[in-house]
């Protein structure tokens, strides 16, 4: 154990601020405890002293001095990284208690050990045992600028796993993360505390949010999501790597409409480490053997996959309820219903629910087999399930030919980081009162989501939560524009969604005529975002009028009724 504290984060901050001399002073003082590092640190100090002497004597011009200083800085960063990854810190981390449950306190602990190339952390989600951040990776690297960092709050998470076994499982998860359909893991830092890993940041929506918005989805899209997730699962199962955490919130839909499965679970959770809220979340998508502590296998993931398939077609989770007891009761009812179907041929809950959707009749049987209580009665492997999915016949829904220029323009604009932010700024300039209405709607959603963290007398969100809610609003609008383009020629499907949207507008006192202003601001945002395609406002007016007229008619009709 080092006698002096390890302040890797402070050293990196000093380098960022250009305080190379002070950083070297601290590193040399700390490494004096360890022969492993002392020679490297003293050598860098000697190089820096020589550089300073040559500068004072006028031997070097500014350009040559900068080259030597940058070389010392790079070597110092490499030394700090070696210290950071050393077993010395690993031994220290084993004795640490969990850091603050407060996100801000946890973030400060993470920043102490975060490599210098990552900065500007923003909370994406926070659970009982981890926090997921969006971060900026400094320019000049091979990776994308935006990444996601998943950091574990409790060191107790690895108590049930030997370090060697955990390292092996993570290497497999990282291996498969590089394949299509699975979010890429760039690097892992599991030997320090807090443990974390860095993965690709997906700009898009979670599948559960996607379904909750209730916009129409074609059978072709559902088939593609099921096929992509099944293929991802097959890749992991080939090396006996189980996901064990399949649920819609762990499937991201990117801006190309492709599903991306979050990496395979490395650390298994159990009820003994979960609060009631988490238990409810788990039992909604867990298999019977997970709930009952049974043997886990590839068939375990099949059960959760069946629940996702059911939800894709019905837009409702199969197991739901206000309490854990309600969810467990529902699980029992569904299982009894499936048993009655096989034993007596009586229509079960699945058949009644799925026949009302666009689920092919043969695939109802597929979902039923996936949801057998006995793992041995499910499919042999994911290959059999993929064969079933491939038999789904579904033509791809296409945007109306006259709207193709608008679709291509929208595709270009929506991938611009500030497109939706600029759009809302424009709208609020014209209708300033709506900013407060929107923020109050966010607060209501946040209260419903995290009741324990927001008190009844709170009337505002903190800056971080407000930003997160606005980003979610951007994604909802992104989905709405995409769906209105795709299903413009299907008035029944689009009409149902627009009717619900009109009711929502009425609840928040949004006037129907202001929705027209909203759409007009969207046209202006597209003009600004794609000036090459639309050199003047007149160039888009005709196609835009054709696009919005039936939508406005539905909104006005439903708002008046």
Average pLDDT over residues 118-136: 81
Cβ atoms of 23 and 8 within 8 Å: the answer is no
The CATH number that domain 204-390 falls under is 1.10.510.10
Least confident of 2-11, 23-32, 121-130, 551-560: 2-11
Q: For residue 5, count other CB atoms closer than 10 A to its CB.
A: 8
Measured distance CA(112)–CA(6) in Å, rounded:
9
Residue 203 confidence (pLDDT) above 90: no
Q: What is the dihedral of CA 351, 370, 249, 481, to 10 degrees?
A: -50
Average pLDDT over residues 158-168: 52
Least confident of 100-104, 176-180, 215-219, 454-458: 454-458
For residue 271, what pLDDT band results from cuts at 50, 70 and 90? very low
Measured distance CA(542)–CA(538) in Å, rounded:
7
Query: What's residue 66's pLDDT?
Result: 87
Query: What's residue 273's pLDDT?
Result: 45
For residue 37, what pLDDT band results from cuts at 50, 70 and 90? confident
Residue 462 confidence (pLDDT) above 90: no
Measured distance CA(350)–CA(328) in Å, rounded:
17
In the sheet with 204-206, reading across from the earlier edge strand, the strands are 204-206, 251-254, 259-261
Domain 401-560, CATH homologous superfamily name and number? Globins (1.10.490.10)
Query: What's residue 309's pLDDT?
Result: 97
Within the chain, how many helices (H) and strands (E) appear? 23, 8
For residue 99, what pLDDT band results from cuts at 50, 70 and 90? very low
Average pLDDT over residues 37-52: 90
For residue 144, what pLDDT band results from cuts at 50, 70 and 90? low
Query: What's residue 1's pLDDT?
Result: 35
For residue 178, what pLDDT band results from cuts at 50, 70 and 90? low
Domain 103-200, CATH homologous superfamily name and number? Phosphorylase Kinase; domain 1 (3.30.200.20)
Measured distance CA(482)–CA(477) in Å, rounded:
9
Residue showing tokens 């627009």 = 498
Query: What's residue 61's pLDDT?
Result: 87
Residue 177 confidence (pLDDT) above 90: no
Angle at which helices 163-177 and 219-237 cross, to 10°: 140
Burial of 401 (C-beta count, 10 Å sphere; 0-12/13-18/19+): exposed
Measured distance CA(490)–CA(397) in Å, rounded:
10
Cis peptide before 277 (omega within 30 of 0): no
Average pLDDT over residues 275-281: 62
Closest CA to 253 of 409, 405, 476: 476
Average pLDDT over residues 79-95: 62
Residue 76 confidence (pLDDT) above 80: yes
Q: For residue 315, count other CB atoms closer than 10 A to its CB.
A: 15
- Where exactly are the structural domains of the chain? 8-89, 103-200, 204-390, 401-560
Closest CA to 468 of 149, 122, 205: 122
Measured distance CA(331)–CA(373) in Å, rounded:
10
Burial of 337 (C-beta count, 10 Å sphere; 0-12/13-18/19+): middle
Residue 556 confidence (pLDDT) above 60: yes
Q: What is the dihedral of CA 226, 134, 522, 395, to 10 degrees?
A: -10
Q: What is the dihedral of CA 56, 59, 62, 64, to 10 degrees?
A: -130
Residues β-bridged to residue 135: 147
Highest mean pLDDT among 98-107, 284-293, 359-368: 359-368
For residue 406, what pLDDT band results from cuts at 50, 70 and 90? very high
Query: What's residue 93's pLDDT?
Result: 43
**Average pLDDT score, the chain:** 82
- In sign, the C-alpha dihedral spanning 382, 387, 390, 391 is negative
What are all long-range contacts of 444-447, with beta carbons under 8 Å and residues at least 24 apart? 445/469
Give percent above pLDDT 70 in the chain: 81
For residue 70, what pLDDT band results from cuts at 50, 70 and 90? confident
Torsional class of 166: left (φ above 0), alpha (ψ -120 to 50), beta (otherwise): alpha
Closest CA to 305 of 381, 356, 394: 381
Alpha helices by DSSP H, listed for 238-292, are 276-285, 288-291
Residue showing tokens 């969990």 = 98
Cβ atoms of 354 and 367 within 8 Å: the answer is yes
Cβ atoms of 167 and 191 within 8 Å: the answer is no
Cβ atoms of 148 and 134 within 8 Å: the answer is yes
Radius of gyration over every alpha carbon of the chain, rounded to an integer in angstroms:
27
Residue 279 confidence (pLDDT) above 80: no
* Structure-model confidence comparison of residues 82 and 93, the more confident one: 82
- In sign, the C-alpha dihedral spanning 525, 527, 533, 539 is positive
* Structure-model confidence comparison of residues 114 and 50, the more confident one: 50
Cβ atoms of 173 and 264 within 8 Å: the answer is yes
Measured distance CA(391)–CA(398) in Å, rounded:
21
């Amino acid at each position: 154990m080092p006698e002096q504290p390890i302040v890797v984060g402070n050293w990196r901050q000093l380098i960022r601020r250009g305080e190379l001399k002070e950083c070297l002073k601290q590193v040399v003082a700390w490494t004096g405890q360890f022969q492993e590092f002392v020679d490297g640190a003293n050598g860098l100090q000697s190089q820096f002293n020589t550089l300073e002497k040559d500068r004072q004597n006028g031997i070097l011009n500014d350009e040559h001095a900068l080259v030597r200083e940058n070389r010392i800085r790079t070597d110092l960063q490499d030394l700090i990284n070696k210290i950071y990854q050393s077993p010395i810190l690993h031994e220290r981390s084993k004795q640490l208690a969990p850091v603050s449950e407060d996100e801000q306190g946890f973030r400060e602990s993470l920043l102490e050990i975060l490599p210098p190339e990552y900065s500007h952390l923003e909370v994406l989600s926070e659970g009982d045992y981890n926090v997921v951040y969006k971060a900026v990776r400094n320019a000049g690297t091979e990776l994308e600028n935006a990444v996601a960092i998943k950091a574990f709050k409790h060191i107790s998470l690895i108590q049930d796993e030997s370090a060697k076994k955990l390292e092996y499982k993570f290497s497999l998860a990282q291996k498969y993360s590089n394949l299509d359909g699975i979010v890429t893991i760039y690097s892992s830092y599991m030997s320090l505390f807090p443990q974390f890993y860095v993965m690709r940041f997906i700009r898009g929506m979670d599948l559960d949010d996607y379904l909750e918005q209730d916009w129409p989805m074609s059978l072709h899209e559902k088939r593609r999501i099921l096929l992509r997730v099944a293929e991802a699962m097959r890749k992991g199962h080939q090396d006996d790597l189980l996901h064990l955490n399949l649920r819609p919130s762990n499937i991201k839909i990117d801006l190309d409409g492709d599903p991306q499965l979050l990496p395979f679970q490395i650390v298994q959770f159990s009820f003994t480490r979960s609060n009631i809220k988490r238990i409810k979340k788990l039992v909604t998508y867990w298999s019977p053997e997970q709930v009952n502590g049974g043997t886990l296998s590839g068939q375990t993931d099949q059960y959760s996959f069946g629940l996702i398939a059911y939800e894709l077609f019905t837009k409702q989770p199969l197991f739901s309820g206000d309490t854990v007891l309600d969810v467990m009761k529902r699980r029992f009812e569904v299982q009894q219903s499936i048993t009655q179907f096989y034993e007596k041929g009586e229509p079960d809950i699945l058949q009644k629910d799925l026949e009302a959707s666009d689920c092919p009749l043969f695939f109802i049987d597929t979902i039923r087999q996936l949801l057998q209580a006995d793992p041995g009665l499910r499919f042999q492997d994911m290959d059999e399930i993929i064969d079933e999915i491939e038999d789904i016949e579904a033509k791809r829904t296409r945007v109306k030919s006259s709207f193709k220029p608008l679709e291509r323009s929208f595709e270009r604009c929506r991938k611009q980081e500030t497109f939706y932010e600029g759009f809302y700024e424009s709208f609020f300039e014209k209708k300033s009162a709506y900013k407060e209405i929107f923020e109050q709607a966010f607060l209501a959603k946040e209260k419903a989501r995290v009741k324990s963290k927001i008190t009844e007398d709170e009337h505002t969100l903190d800056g971080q939560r407000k930003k997160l809610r606005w980003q979610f609003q951007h994604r909802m609008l992104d989905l709405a524009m995409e769906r209105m383009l795709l299903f413009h020629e299907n008035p029944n499907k689009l009409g149902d969604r627009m009717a619900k949207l009109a009711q929502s507008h009425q609840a928040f006192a949004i006037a129907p005529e202001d929705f027209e202003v909203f759409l007009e601001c969207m046209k202006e945002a597209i003009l600004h975002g794609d000036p090459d395609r639309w050199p003047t406002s007149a160039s888009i007016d005709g196609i835009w009028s054709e696009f919005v007229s039936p939508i406005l008619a539905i909104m006005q009709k439903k708002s008046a009724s």
